[in-house]
Structure 1
Amino acid sequence: MSVNAGAGLDRLPLSGFHRLIMWLIGIGMFFDGFDIYVASTVLGATLKSGFSTLGQNALFVSLTFLGMMLGSLATGFLGDRYGRRFTYRTNLMVFGLASLGAALAPDMAVLIACRFMMGLSLLAENVVGYSTLTEFAPPASQGKLQGLMAVFAVSGLPVAGLIGLLLIPVLGWRGMFVLGGVGAICVWYARKSLRESPRWLESARHDKETEAILSAIEREV
């Protein structure tokens, strides 16, 4: 029997179920934004302490953006092939572990390599985050929810600056990566409760699973 996941989701009213999705995805995007901006505080500290040179700092920034470009491109294909849930959880795990690895880096070469791995998942979080929210949210509420998610992402800038101002003099620059990594892994664990997108399941012809998840969502709304 064919299941129309889009029509089933679109007719649901905005509820706590949709707000939970927005919060869980939004918090992940906050840490994504936090870590994009953390370079501005970390690189000053590594340069001042002699851990890095200006050339290494430039390479750090360049490979960050190269990783972001490659990661955002790959995420779209991975999301279509393996599903939204797999992609956004894998993305956060890679980011979290790479961030913790950066905190333990013995030299700038290792830090740059970890940063490249982090870059692969940084912009990818935006790609999979917005697409996942759009596939769950009712059409009339998508603009509002996406706007709120954008606030989560851009709030990473002032928060990263403020925390860097307070944390780096006490714990050093490594503490910034520990904070970002632990936060990402906590969000990865919290996202275990999120279901796979019924729209993706329908496109992948998993009709029975699509019907089961739609029924479960309707009971929660």
Structure 2
Amino acid sequence: MDPAIELKNRMNISRATPLFYKVFAMVAAGMILDGADVYLASAVNSAIIANHFATIAQGSMFLSAGFLGLFFGSLWAGLIGDYFGRRQAYQINLVLFGFFTVLAAFAPNVWALIVLRFIAAIGLGAEIVTGFALINEFAPVATRGRWSASVSVIANMAAPLTLVLAAVVIPRYSWRSTFIIIGIAALILWIIRHNFPESPRWLISKGRYQEAEAIIQKL
């Protein structure tokens, strides 16, 4: 039998093992950070307009820069993930998101903030796409839809967390502190995910059967 077919068949009947739960937890953590950042943008926008750091028009550009970055990040993630691997794309996008989010906290003016927000959002968009791809490629076939739905539910848990963060942090420490909190949390997760396994399905697609075999044995 073709080794690629054999390995894929073994993955199709795999169970939720400790390795899969580890992958799920790290993907879910990234999704919470992503969701928090997206929801937090509205609160930050209100704050920068209220303290005259930005005009209403500039605030709209700040929000638009985030969504534009999400768009390009989604496109970029697919290209990088298919060529260099899911793991590489997953690590690059998170450090991009975390690093430029921290830099955004020190933006000297609204134009710098808009540019930094755009770059950070590229990493944000890539994180979302790659996260769902990894869950689908690691999850047992029989329960793949359930695990994908669970990631979506967890990502939306960021909404109430963001409301609390915005209500407590922004009035006391300014909007800049929220970027520091989210950015540092992303960089910490990036360090934790240093040993994140490569997708066996991607390895199989590249003919790297021995590496895929080593991971599949743990699934």
Q: Is TM-score (shorter-chain normalized) higher than 0.5?
A: yes
1:136 maps onto 2:145 in alignment = no
Asked if the contact 1:29–1:129 (Cα under 8 Å) also holds between the matched residues in 2, the reply is yes
Tell me by how many angstroms 1:190 deviates: 1.4
When structure 1 is superposed on structure 2, of 32-41 and 151-160 the one drifting more is 151-160
One-letter amino acid of the structure 2 residue matched with residue 38 of structure 1: L
Partners of 1:91 and 1:151 lie apart in 2 by 22
Partner residue, 1:22:
24
Please list the CA deviations of residues 100-136 of structure 1 after superposition, one character each: whole Å capped at 9, or x if unmatched: 0001111111111110011212222221111101111
One-letter amino acid of the structure 1 residue matched with residue 8 of structure 2: G
Q: Secondary structure at the match of 1:51?
A: coil
1:59 maps onto 2:22 in alignment = no
Tell me by how many angstroms 1:213 deviates: 2.7
Gap regions ≥5 residues in structure 2: none
When the two chains are superposed, the root-mean-square deviation of aligned CA atoms in Å is 1.4
Asked if the contact 1:47–1:53 (Cα under 8 Å) also holds between the matched residues in 2, the reply is yes
Q: Secondary structure at the match of 2:57?
A: helix
One-letter amino acid of the structure 2 residue matched with residue 160 of structure 1: T
2:112 to 93, 110, 122: 110
Please list the CA deviations of residues 36-87 of structure 1 after superposition, one character each: whole Å capped at 9, or x if unmatched: 1111111111111111111110111111111111110111111100100000
Query: How does 1:64-143 map onto structure 2 within 5 Å?
Result: 64-143=66-145
Partner residue, 1:146:
148
Partner residue, 1:9:
11
Tell me by how many angstroms 1:140 deviates: 1.4
Partners of 2:186 and 2:10 lie apart in 1 by 32
Asked if the contact 2:98–2:183 (Cα under 8 Å) also holds between the matched residues in 1, the reply is yes
Equivalenced residue count is 217
Query: How does 1:168-187 map onto structure 2 within 5 Å?
Result: 168-187=170-189
Asked if the contact 1:99–1:181 (Cα under 8 Å) also holds between the matched residues in 2, the reply is yes
One-letter amino acid of the structure 1 residue matched with residue 184 of structure 2: V
Tell me by how many angstroms 1:21 deviates: 1.0
Partners of 1:211 and 1:148 lie apart in 2 by 27
Partners of 1:80 and 1:72 lie apart in 2 by 13
Asked if the contact 2:104–2:117 (Cα under 8 Å) also holds between the matched residues in 1, the reply is yes
One-letter amino acid of the structure 2 residue matched with residue 2 of structure 1: P
Partner residue, 1:44:
46
One-letter amino acid of the structure 2 residue matched with residue 113 of structure 1: V
Percent identical residues: 34
Q: Secondary structure at the match of 1:50?
A: coil
Asked if the contact 2:42–2:63 (Cα under 8 Å) also holds between the matched residues in 1, the reply is no
One-letter amino acid of the structure 1 residue matched with residue 3 of structure 2: S
Change (3 A) 1:169 1:95: same
Asked if the contact 2:15–2:140 (Cα under 8 Å) also holds between the matched residues in 1, the reply is yes
Partners of 2:149 and 2:86 lie apart in 1 by 20
